[in-house]
Chain A
Amino acid sequence: MHLMYFTEQPMSAYPAQAGLDFGATALMFSNKHFDPVAGSRLYNEYLEHYRIAEEVGFDGIMLNEHHNAPFCMQAKCNVFASILAATTKRVKLVLLGNPLPLAENPVRLAEELAMIDMISHGRLVSGFVRGGGQEQLATGVNPAYNRERFEEAHELIVKTWTESGPFRWEGTHYQHRVVNPWALPLQKPHPRVWIPGVLSKETIIWAAKKRYPYIALSTAIDATKKIWELYDKVAAETGYQGGPEYRGYLQRCHVAETEEKAMENAQQFMWMQGEFTGLAHPVWSSPSGYFSPAMRTAFVEFAVGRRSNPRGAAFEDQIRDQQIIAGTPKTVIPKLRRLLEETRPSILGFWASDGFVSNQDTQRCIRLLGQEVLPALRDMGKELGLWSPFEANAPVSLAHPEPARPAGT
Chain B
Amino acid sequence: MTVVGEPGTKEPLSLEELEAAGGIRTGRKHVLAILAENKPGVLSRIAGLFARRGFNIDTLTVGPTDDPAISRFTLTVDGALHPIDQVTKQLHKLVNVLKIRDLEPEETLARDLALFKVAADGSARGEVMQIVDIFRAKIVDVTKRSVVVEVTGTKDKIDAFEQMIRPFGLIEMARTGEIAIARGRGET
Are the chains A and B members of one assembly?
no
A positions within 8 Å CB-CB of B: none
Residues of B within 8 A of A (CB): none
